[in-house]
Amino acid sequence: MDASTEFENGQAKFDAIIAADEKIEPRDWMPDGYRKTVIRQMAQHAHSEVIGMQPEANWILRAPTLLRKAILIAKVQDEAGHGLYLYSATETLGVSRDELVGLLHEGKQKYSSIFNYPALSWADMGAIGWLVDGAAIVNQIVLQGTSYGPYSRAMVKICKEESFHARQGYSIMMALAEGSDEQKAMCQDALNRWWWPALMMFGPHDSESAHTAESMAWKIKRKTNDELRQMFIDQTVPQAHYLGMTIPDPDLVFDEETGHWTIGEIDWDEFWATIKGDGRLNRERITHKVKAWDEGRWVRDAATAYAAKQKMKPDKSA
């Protein structure tokens, strides 16, 4: 079979699998563009899980009760696990995790810019779980249907765990909303600061999104940015009202005709500035990540040396 026939056969089979809503698996033929898009999306997703540990890890020692502390530790551990699942899934496409981590450290691959906003008070742990993880869940539930098998399977596993993240966040917000005036103010303040960044997590409007059409055709993405954002808004606005809090958007109205909440204009200048690295914490997050990596080197070296030494010993079972 010559190269062009192999390409045509591969493309035809790939197209048929996508059309039949089946999954593409690691060793299948796939277009270069598909491979690159899935690698980029999964790697950025993995990086986001890993960098996402920082704002919350920062609050573990300041958690108000032992139970809240244990919960926060469990959540941060989950984020590390989610990073692992996603790096593993990405590795099935022929890149090594070391390369991906290197690209993150060198600033050549990005993570979600939501993690470049500071977590200023304990209420932020509530707002992050409720809004940031809540937004991530909306995105990830739909991504369970993504066309790349390992990515889809990672999403199924992550979604099972992520629901705990959102609920523990809302539970923090409920406790504050039922508390003193000062605690209520903390709750409102955290909502004020995290609402818009959470909405920006879904990315630019469909009309501005360079990759949406292609990713939809390949069924990597199953819903557009605006569709997902609207799902999140509709589920979250009533939750804010239940807390007795106000969504920081004077233009927010419920459209009786469509049954959807309509929001005011998102500050896209802030969005692009944060993406491009002007966020308050961009440099700090990466510096911290690289520092942790470098400081862990002796552990990796020791583990490698120990494994090599064990291999040289005569087999105990023999």
Partner 1 sequence: MSYEVPVAPGDKPHEIQFGGGGEHGFPLWEVFVRAKRGLNHTHVGSLHAPDAETAIQNARDGYTRRAEGVSVWVVPSIEIVASDDAESMFEPFEHKPYRHPTFYEIPEEVGQL
> Min. distance of Cβ 301 from partner 1 in angstroms?
5
Nearer to partner 1, 15 or 267 (CB): 15
> Min. distance of Cβ 35 from partner 1 in angstroms?
5
Nearer to partner 1, 33 or 238 (CB): 33
Nearer to partner 1, 81 or 248 (CB): 81
Q: How many helices (H) and strands (E) does the chain have?
A: 14, 2
Sorted by sequence, the CB contacts under 8 Å of residue 146 that are 6+ apart come out as: 152, 155, 219, 220, 221, 222
- Name the 3-class secondary structure at 1: coil
Sorted by sequence, the CB contacts under 8 Å of residue 170 that are 6+ apart come out as: 126, 129, 130, 239
Residue with tokens 């692009």: 272
Nearer to partner 1, 2 or 265 (CB): 2
Sorted by sequence, the CB contacts under 8 Å of residue 28 that are 6+ apart come out as: 13, 14, 17
> Min. distance of Cβ 30 from partner 1 in angstroms?
10
- The end-to-end CA distance of the chain, in Å, is 49
> Min. distance of Cβ 101 from partner 1 in angstroms?
8
Work out the widest C-alpha separation in the chain, in whole angstroms. Answer: 76
The two tokens of residue 35 are 């491979």
Angle at 227 between CA 223 and CA 229, to 5 degrees: 115
E strands, the chain, are 253-255, 260-262
Positions that interact with partner 1 (CB under 8 A)? 25-28, 32, 35-36, 39, 74, 77-78, 81, 84-85, 88-89, 91-99, 101-103, 153-154, 157, 161, 297, 300-301, 303-304, 306-307, 310-311
Cα(301)–Cα(124) distance, rounded to whole angstroms? 37
Nearer to partner 1, 61 or 299 (CB): 299
Nearer to partner 1, 157 or 280 (CB): 157
> Min. distance of Cβ 32 from partner 1 in angstroms?
5
Sorted by sequence, the CB contacts under 8 Å of residue 10 that are 6+ apart come out as: 29, 30
> Min. distance of Cβ 119 from partner 1 in angstroms?
23
Nearer to partner 1, 88 or 246 (CB): 88
CB 14 within 8 A of CB 220: no
Nearer to partner 1, 1 or 67 (CB): 1
> Min. distance of Cβ 213 from partner 1 in angstroms?
22
> Min. distance of Cβ 56 from partner 1 in angstroms?
16
